[in-house]
Amino acid sequence: MAKWDGRCVSGILHHAYRVLQKAGCDSPELDAELLLASVLGWDRARLLAHSDHMLTEIELASWLALLGRRQGREPLAYILGRREFYGLDFIVDRRVLIPRPETELVVEHVLAWAASRTGPLDLADVGTGSGCIAVALAAHLPGTTIHALDASADSLEVAAANVARHALGEQVILLQSDLLEQLPGRVDGIIANLPYVRSDEMPVLQPEIREHEPWAALDGGPDGLGPVRRLLVQAVRYLSPAGAVFLEIGAEQGMAAREIARHHFPNGKTQVLPDYAGLDRILQVRT
């Protein structure tokens, strides 16, 4: 890592911009600011307003360690140990997939559907990971019970921390389960962000994803739809009448995912909903 003179915020940020840009990071300026703000315990506004602040030797050493991790393309969320999702703050680490903006759209569609229903709902969040979907839904749907299922005990530990962080333990029930197998009964809605990356795409993903995020949460098999097929087979048994399924899918999987859903729910209304860029993103089935 190149050396520089001085310990003031402006000089440190300038150095970090260049280091992270050379490393190929997508947002080197923002990353540098968030890393330094984390070390100082400040927000970005305070950081930028005090560009002449001098770091202590301990602060400088801490910042250099974080910068080195980001230079090695470790995701910013893992370095900071947190990620915002649907306006809520979540604990994240390498045991779970990092929550992404497109998944917030899943939450929006579930909330819109829930608004058309009466009475308390019982939902299942399959492959809950960090618990971001389950927690976001519980926070916006008081009285709703959400079974958050994941095959990974490690993932469930992170989810449990996030459920406790937002004091939603009375609504969110964590279960270790291969998809829906341990679900105790039928539910009104099934929501999932399952692995949907094709296996042959895995080696060419960005280093942040390929080298740091859990492959089990990403690899969806040869066509990316293996977990979706398995879930829809089970969903027939676990979805209540007049229920709904919401599955996040890949941008080129809409047609194939819709056909799979129609096979298992021939009398249901099946749609593929786009994301903000107009790409296929959510498979929705209403029975």
Of the candidates 73, 52, 69, the one whose C-alpha atom is nearest the C-alpha of residue 6 is 52
pLDDT at 2: 46
Instruction: Give the C-alpha distances (Å, rounded to integers) separating 216 from 75, 97, 138, 179, 252.
Output: 17, 9, 26, 13, 20
> Which class is domain 93-286?
alpha beta
Helix/strand/coil percent split, the chain, to 5:
45, 20, 35
Supply the Cα-derived Rg of the chain in whole angstroms: 21
CA distance 160 to 169: 8
Cα 218 vs. chain centroid, distance in angstroms? 11
Task: Give the pair of three-digit tokens for residue 115.
Answer: 């608004």
Q: Around 89, how many Cα atoms within 13 Å sit in the side-chain half-sphere?
A: 4
Q: Give every residue of the chain whose pLDDT is below 70, as ranges.
A: 1-6
Q: Could you give the 3-state DSSP secondary structure of residue 196?
A: coil
CA distance 169 to 175: 13
Of the candidates 76, 110, 109, 16, the one whose C-alpha atom is nearest the C-alpha of residue 206 is 76
Of the candidates 229, 234, 248, the one whose C-alpha atom is nearest the C-alpha of residue 191 is 248
CA distance 278 to 283: 14
CA distance 174 to 146: 9
Torsion angles phi and psi, residue 214, rounded to 5 = -65, 120
CB distance 270 to 285 below 8 Å: yes
Task: Give the pair of three-digit tokens for residue 89.
Answer: 């703050």
Say which DSSP state 206 is in: -
pLDDT at 4: 52
CA distance 116 to 109: 11
CA distance 162 to 147: 14
pLDDT at 6: 64
